[in-house]
Amino acid sequence: MPARALSERAARAALAAHFAPGQLAAELDEYTPAEVWDRRVRDDGSGLLASYRPREELAQAELTCSFVIPSDEEWPTALADLGPVCPLGLWIRGRERLPRLTGNAVVVTGNRVPTEQAVTRAHDFATALAEAGHTVTATLAYGVDSTAHQAAAEAGRASLAVLPRGLDGAHPHAHASLLRSVLDDGGAAVSLYRPGTAASGATLKASAVVLAALARAVILVEALDHVEAMYAAETAVDLLRLETDESEHITDRVAGCLALKYGLRTDRLVSLTTDQVLVHPEEPGVVGLQLAQAQRGRPRQLRRQPPQSGTCPDRARIGPNRQLRN
């Protein structure tokens, strides 16, 4: 009796647990996800993939959160802009809310150890966005990101959290209550990684790419000091979605920091004021005046690709993929 065919969902979840999308893009252009998995199992001399049970692993993981794939109606269409590095799937808590939240998502991110002025401005931006009908989107990191979620909650609006680890926990661990609050207030949490996956340098960078791609814009508050915010900024520039806080000296510091690290053209960084956030959310593609420039609907080739290894927790190692302390 022939073996039961692997579903697309189970195959994508299995592939995502072991490979980054860019490693599989060429094969997925030619074969189905189930066929790609079978090919990878046959070619794996270590036996690691042969011992993996895609159906059972998916069923166990979905006790914690849902695995959404591109054929699902909840799939965020904005991720198509990532082209060959578009995720194989997303792990979601609050799945039924995702289309509503991602339709007007705007990222507010920045310094993990912010000045008092930066905290105030992050709070003001997030409040203005929430009250204008946009979904405040951020990581759960200390500083600007957590302030953004708190501001949205205070405004009585749902927010969207993107995590660099499995959704069975928070990153950092100290913000587990913040994650619960996001979900209890009608928001959702998104991750590239199955439950049980710890945060690492690689997961932070890959998650930052998704963070930027999910949103209509990325608003940077204060000079950046964290790898995830830097990768989000790089992706936003590639997708023409970058906005910067124009408070005194801040824009120059952000531009200089990005230019130094990535060799970006600083004339592509556009400043944004709180007043420019106060617009009607039903205007397509508009958050502030500059967001009319945002272009969507066609894949862009990112100049800086997200990490192509370290997606499987069993393969964490010293270096950029090392697991992080919370």
Q: What is the 3-state secondary structure (H, E, C) of the chain?
A: CCCCCCCHHHHHHHHHHHCCHHHCHHHHHHCCHHHHHHHHHHHCCCCCCCCCCHHHHHHHHCCCCEEECCCCCCCCHHHHHHHHHCCCCEEEECHHHHHHHHCCEEEEEECCCCCHHHHHHHHHHHHHHHHCCCEEEECCCCCHHHHHHHHHHHCCCCEEEEECCCCCCCCCHHHHHHHHHHHHCCCEEEECCCCCCCCEHHHHHHHHHHHHHHCCEEEEECCCCCHHHHHHHHHHHHCCCEEEECCCCHHHHHHHHHHHHHCCCHHHCEEECHHHHCCCCCCCCCCCHHHHHCCCCCCCCCCCCCCCCCCCHHHCCCCCCCECCC
Looking at 25-39, 217-231, 304-318, which range is the least confident one?
304-318
Model pLDDT, residue 280: 32
Between 7 and 230, the more confident residue is 7
Model pLDDT, residue 233: 63
Between 167 and 282, the more confident residue is 167
Q: Where are the domains of the chain?
A: 7-63, 93-293
Model confidence at 41: pLDDT above 50 = yes
- Mean of pLDDT over the chain: 77
Model pLDDT, residue 296: 35
Tell whether domain 93-293 is in CATH 3.40.50.150. Answer: no
Between 301 and 231, the more confident residue is 231
Model confidence at 88: pLDDT above 60 = yes
Q: Residue 234 — pLDDT band, cuts 50, 70, 90?
A: low
Model pLDDT, residue 260: 32
> In Å, how far from its chain's centre is CA 97?
16
Model pLDDT, residue 79: 93
Q: 205 is written with which tokens?
A: 């960078």
pLDDT digits (tens, 9 = 90+) for 138-148: 999 999 999 99
Model confidence at 320: pLDDT above 60 = no
Model confidence at 300: pLDDT above 50 = no
Looking at 19-28, 197-206, 258-267, which range is the least confident one?
258-267
pLDDT digits (tens, 9 = 90+) for 181-228: 999 999 999 999 999 999 998 999 899 889 989 988 888 887 555 556
Model confidence at 316: pLDDT above 70 = no
With the C-alpha atoms ordered 231, 237, 241, 245, is the resulting torsion angle positive or negative?
Answer: positive
Model confidence at 299: pLDDT above 90 = no
Q: Is the pTM of this model over 0.85?
A: no
Model pLDDT, residue 99: 94
